[in-house]
Amino acid sequence: MTDLTTWMCAVCGWLYDEAAGAPDHGLAPGTRWQDVPADWTCPECGAGKDAFEMVEI
């Protein structure tokens, strides 16, 4: 299994950790970024999925 990654919103800096998911925002723990729905938006600022960048933590 490939390591899970973390993605950061380039607009506001909110972090999405694939291992933790975002259960309060409809993403179960372990949900990979490619499996996040295309219409999902940042829970902090509303930016689209395309505003996120993979980051090293």
**Residues marked as binding?**
9, 12, 42, 45
In the Cβ-directed half-sphere of 7, how many Cα atoms lie within 13 Å? 21
Residue list, annotated binding site for Fe cation: 9, 12, 42, 45
Q: Are 38 and 49 in contact (CB under 8 A)?
A: yes
CB atoms within 10 A of CB 30: 12
